[in-house]
Amino acid sequence: MTKAGIAEKANFDIIRYAQLWEDADVLVEALKGEAGRSFLSVCSAGDNVLALLLLDPKRVVACDLSQAQLHCLRIRIAAMKFLEWDDFRKLMESGRSPERRAIMTRVLSQCSPNMQDFWFARMDGIERHGLGGIGKFERYFRVFRRFVLPLIHSRGTVKDVFTDRAERLERAEFFERRWNTWRWRLATDLFFSRFVMGRLGRDPAFFNHAVGSLSEHVRGKVREAAVEQRPWFNPYMQWILLGRHSTALPLAWRKDSYETIRSRLDRIEIHHGPVDDTSLGRFDGFNLSDVFEYMDVPEFEASYGRLLSMANPRARLVYWNMMAPRRVPDAHAERVMTLDSLEDDLKRKDKAFFYSDLVVEEAI
């Protein structure tokens, strides 16, 4: 993302995302390959930067225009160095915890004064909602869960979403009979409008290039996640509807990932600036989140070209679209091939259900 683009329109002084809302399992599968490669990643909350360490890379460069988002990665690195997994999960998860303030204070005792100032100012929110629950986007879902969801469904119905129904037919019957009510459709029209999400969840500038109805998009993606996949294994749906991860965790938070990630934390490099900064070097894989969503077409073409100039042969570019259609621009099409078969497979597996498209491209 270029400083001349979205940075002039959106506010980057707040924690917008306190956890990642793109599926790290899909990202890691898209970029899997031999050890010792170099990756460039949008930072956001840092979870997917950490997940890339599971690929045994030589280096992972994390970029963001927001120092607040970079602080989210820095505090995860400090916590993983200092804490065992049980305390790390208590720190990250939602809901009040009598131990969380003490755990966070212990971690911050190892940090710089700048980090201490940033996080002590947010300690009350961390104590109430967990380190993974204090962003603007997470607050948006708390408002939905507290004030809107009870008007749509009972607690029993919400809880029953996560009964593990192995058969697709069972999941489809549950969804149509108990979830897809007129109240659900009305509530999504209101709460998941561009106006409401732009002010309570994302920045309004993030919708400048969006196409289509956001509420219709959300309803379709929720149905896909509830019917075509198994909610029992979906940490994103669980956090939105329950306010916690009940039976599934994001990849970087899982116990079986923890020690591997912790042993490779020194391979992360943090860069405050745009992801298409050509001075960062050359890379074998790119986690670009949904940065192209926020660019107009000329800016997208220019940014994509800069990223291609940073790509080693056969480097992969992975990114998501929600409501702005973005794929390799015509000007660069001869230098890139789309991995259609891999894309189709990963789209079926993608548990983070906000996005309309997942793109996996490879530099020729």
pTM over 0.85: yes
Does residue 29 form part of some domain? no
Cβ distance 294 to 346 under 8 Å? Answer: no
* Whether the predicted pLDDT of 125 surpasses 90: yes
Does residue 359 form part of some domain? no
Per-residue pLDDT at 128: 94
Per-residue pLDDT at 324: 84
**Domain extent at residue 158:** 136-242
* Whether the predicted pLDDT of 330 surpasses 60: yes
Cβ distance 194 to 210 under 8 Å? Answer: yes
For the sheet containing 59-64, what is the strand order? Answer: 268-272, 59-64, 38-42, 283-287, 311-321, 357-363, 336-338
Does residue 224 form part of some domain? yes
Does residue 151 form part of some domain? yes
Token look-up 């890339």 returns 52
Report percent pLDDT > 70 for the chain: 91
Per-residue pLDDT at 197: 55
Would you place residue 195 in the very low, low, confident or very high pLDDT band (cuts 50, 70, 90)?
low
More confident residue, 217 or 27: 27
Q: What are phi and psi of 59, to 5 degrees?
A: -155, 150
Residues 216-240, mean pLDDT to the nearest whole number: 92
More confident residue, 186 or 207: 186
Cβ distance 262 to 54 under 8 Å? Answer: no
Per-residue pLDDT at 207: 42
* CA 277 – CA 295 distance, rounded (Å): 16
Per-residue pLDDT at 194: 54
* CA 271 – CA 278 distance, rounded (Å): 12
CA atoms within 13 A on the CB side of 193: 8
Residues 98-124, mean pLDDT to the nearest whole number: 96
pLDDT digits (tens, 9 = 90+) for 40-93: 999 999 999 999 999 999 999 999 999 999 999 999 999 999 999 999 999 999
Per-residue pLDDT at 2: 47
Cβ distance 94 to 126 under 8 Å? Answer: no
* CA 30 – CA 217 distance, rounded (Å): 24
Within the chain, residue ranges assigned H as helices are: 24-31, 47-52, 67-82, 85-92, 100-108, 113-120, 123-129, 136-143, 149-152, 155-160, 168-174, 182-191, 194-200, 214-223, 235-242, 255-262, 297-309, 340-349
- DSSP-derived 3-state class of residue 126: helix
Residues 156-181, mean pLDDT to the nearest whole number: 97
Does residue 291 form part of some domain? no
SS (H, E, C) 183-203: HHHHHHHHHCCHHHHHHHCCC
Does residue 81 form part of some domain? no
Per-residue pLDDT at 323: 76
Does residue 319 form part of some domain? no
End-to-end CA distance of the chain: 23
Does residue 191 form part of some domain? yes
Per-residue pLDDT at 4: 46
Which of 8-12, 140-144, 285-289 is least confident?
Answer: 8-12
Domain count, the chain: 1
* Whether the predicted pLDDT of 201 surpasses 50: no
